[in-house]
Amino acid sequence: MKSKVHVAFIFIFLNSTFLFGQWPANPLNNLQLSDMTGEQVLPKIAVCSNGDLYVAWFSNESGNYNVRLQLLDKNGNELWAPNGILVSNHEQMSWLTDWDMTVDTANFAVLTFQDIRTGENNPVAYCISPEGEMMWGSDGISLSNNANFEPSPKVCATDAGNSVFAWQSEASGGSEIHLQKISDDGQPQWGDGIVLSSPSLAYTYPYLRTATNDQVFLIWHKQSGPAWAPNRGLYVQLLDADGNAVWDNELEIYAPVASGAVITLQLASDYNGGIIFAWYYNDVGTHFNCKVQHMDASGNLSLPANGVLVSTFMNRNHMYPAPAFLPETQEIVVYFSEQDLNQNQRGLYAQKLDMDGNRLWTDQGKQLIALSNNDYSLPVASGLDDKAICIYQSTESMSGSNAKIQAVMLDTDGNFVWDDEFIDMSTYQSSKLHLVMTDYYYGQWVTVWEDERNGGRDIYAQNIQKDGTLGEVITSVNIPIESKSLIEVKVSPTPFEKMVSISIASSECGEVYFEIFNTGGQLIHSSVHSKSLEQVQFSWDAEGLPAGIYFYTLQLLNDKKSGKLIKR
């Protein structure tokens, strides 16, 4: 059980509900989450099972990079006071590295970052409840306390309610990966921690992904050579609840390649326990290319060894891949930046691959935006059914000061889903940086970014729905009565007088999100049910509601079912 440390501001949250903001429908007026002095930077975003949303960022309002956290409901209302709560004001460096945030099974936010509170640069961890309570103490938990440089810690929450952390630790003897598991009540589970190291290789840039049975996937790089021009490969190991390696040998995603200093990695879920990997690297001379690989939940690679190129056209650079998985067709879509060899002209392209690694939109990919003097950067992507959305920054003349945020969605045939093809999400002309995005939840995607429209940097957010509209999410009478889905639903009795039973059958397991709307589009009931067996059954009590037609939606992973209920 989590312990509670109450501080003065807690009582404000317990006795009142703040409802500031709400998703704007006008792309010129995005939701502003911070308006404090000093720059607000490096936002992170994480979704709760009930649709609430944590957004965290670094805030330099006092001359130090403090950490702040805000909680939104699914409609974009701020549930805490403006600018959120202060998580940490411990001394921070004058420059920042990457950091991480997730949500555990109790819908608590778990954050990890580094600071120099002890004089050394070490990672720390915090856990905050939806009421703003500091569950691991007002100072959090120090994950390490040594003289090593330990940047960019990562975290994932296990299905048993624990949190696993990983970070790079650089010492005179080389670079290692350190890991620790913290229970929900803030107790270290792996003693003094686990260390992965090699006498001949540097272990760098870890990532974590949740597996089943309190296990996690550890993803990390092994590299040799100088730091500015390393030979770098990518590996995965499944760790059990005690931190032991489950597989006899780690899985090689790609063998060491001479990547130089530029190589980025983006990950996406296949919604069945597996992972999509997409990266770009320096392959020949000054040429850059993107590759993709898929690993299923058992650690098997679906695509050929060392991944598949998104494009074979060597007269262009292909960079910054953003992968998405289409669960309905079991295909991968990758959006990427297309550039001339001098990186002066840029466009936006996409490629689709099947599970055999075949490129399906020609060997060069599909052109979405032709090369021009504009820049199309920071792509992030997500899959839904047989479609994939990409959100990206569009900048005039690559100046950086006249940027807007746009979205595009393609179906499995490569057709534009929306009539307008490209949807404006933010049209205020300003510099925008560090764009992050949720997966699809409760009828929408949400993206958060840094924005300089007010002179300094602030944090802004915007949602977009699958029909390309912004603003309030209505998922009632416009939903098809019988939508295409692999979920089998039985409603009994029908019509019903007071109580109706809903039975769900599906091969998938996870959280089932259940919502009911009246014919006016108003949400009148929502609940979440855990599905670990082939079937799950629950009831809805409609006593006191008038007779008539009601609409329900059920979502399990990325599979959605909708229908109607008749009360007499």
Segment among 85-94, 151-160, 234-243, 492-501 with least mean pLDDT: 492-501
- 323-369: per-residue pLDDT in tens? 999 999 999 999 999 999 999 999 999 999 999 999 999 999 999 99
- Average pLDDT over every residue of 493-515: 84
Is 300:276 a contact under the CB 8 Å cutoff?
A: no
- Average pLDDT over every residue of 152-165: 96
CATH (residue range 488-567): 2.60.40.1930
Segment among 11-15, 151-155, 450-454, 521-525 with least mean pLDDT: 11-15
Residue 221: name the closest of 278, 281, 177 by CA.
Answer: 177
Is 59:457 a contact under the CB 8 Å cutoff?
A: no
**Which residues fall within 8 angstroms of residue 113, CB to CB, at 6 or more apart?**
67, 88, 99, 100, 123, 124, 153
* Res 474: pLDDT: 67
- Average pLDDT over every residue of 105-118: 96
Round to whole Å and give the CA distance between 353 and 129: 41
In percent, the amount of the chain with pLDDT more than 90 equals 70
Residue 385: name the closest of 484, 481, 515 by CA.
Answer: 484
Residue 375: name the closest of 351, 391, 399 by CA.
Answer: 399
User: Cα–Cα distances in Å, from 526 out to 17, 492, 529, 531?
Assistant: 19, 19, 10, 16
What are the structural domain ranges in the chain?
A: 262-430, 488-567
Q: How many helices (H) and strands (E) does the chain have?
A: 1, 39
Residue 279: name the closest of 227, 222, 233 by CA.
Answer: 233
Residue 190: name the closest of 200, 176, 180 by CA.
Answer: 180
Distance linking the first and last C-alpha atoms of the chain:
45
Round to whole Å and give the CA distance between 271 and 257: 29
Query: What single string gives the DSSP state of each residue in 88-118?
Result: E-S---SS----EEEE-TTS-EEEEEEE-TT
The overall average pLDDT reported for the chain is 89
- 369-414: per-residue pLDDT in tens? 999 999 998 899 999 989 999 999 999 876 667 899 999 999 999 9
In this predicted structure, the answer to whether residue 127 has a pLDDT above a threshold of 50 is yes
What are the backbone angles phi and psi of residue 61, rounded to the nearest 5°?
-70, -20
Round to whole Å and give the CA distance between 180 and 196: 12
- 250-307: per-residue pLDDT in tens? 999 999 988 766 678 999 999 889 999 999 998 888 899 999 999 999 999 999 999 9
* Res 214: pLDDT: 96
Round to whole Å and give the CA distance between 80 and 11: 12
Round to whole Å and give the CA distance between 76 and 68: 17
- Average pLDDT over every residue of 414-440: 95
In this predicted structure, the answer to whether residue 20 has a pLDDT above a threshold of 60 is no
* Res 140: pLDDT: 98
pLDDT category at 197 given cuts 50, 70, 90 is very high
For the record, the structure tokens of 52 come out as 């609430």
Question: Amino acid identity, residue 279?
Answer: W
Query: What single string gives the DSSP state of each residue in 441-457?
Result: BTTEEEEEEEEEEESEE
Question: Amino acid identity, residue 474?
Answer: I
> In what side-by-side order are the strands of the sheet with 66-72?
40-47, 53-59, 66-72, 85-88
Architecture of domain 262-430: 6 Propeller (2.120)
The answer to whether the Cα torsion of 530, 533, 534, 538 is positive or negative is negative
Question: Amino acid identity, residue 484?
Answer: K
Round to whole Å and give the CA distance between 399 and 276: 32
If one compares 155 and 542, the residue with the highest pLDDT of the two is 155
Is 355:327 a contact under the CB 8 Å cutoff?
A: no
In this predicted structure, the answer to whether residue 461 has a pLDDT above a threshold of 80 is yes
Burial status of residue 417 (CB atoms within 10 A of its CB: 0-12, 13-18, 19 or more): middle
Round to whole Å and give the CA distance between 321 and 338: 10
In this predicted structure, the answer to whether residue 480 has a pLDDT above a threshold of 80 is no
* Res 19: pLDDT: 43
pTM of the model: 0.82
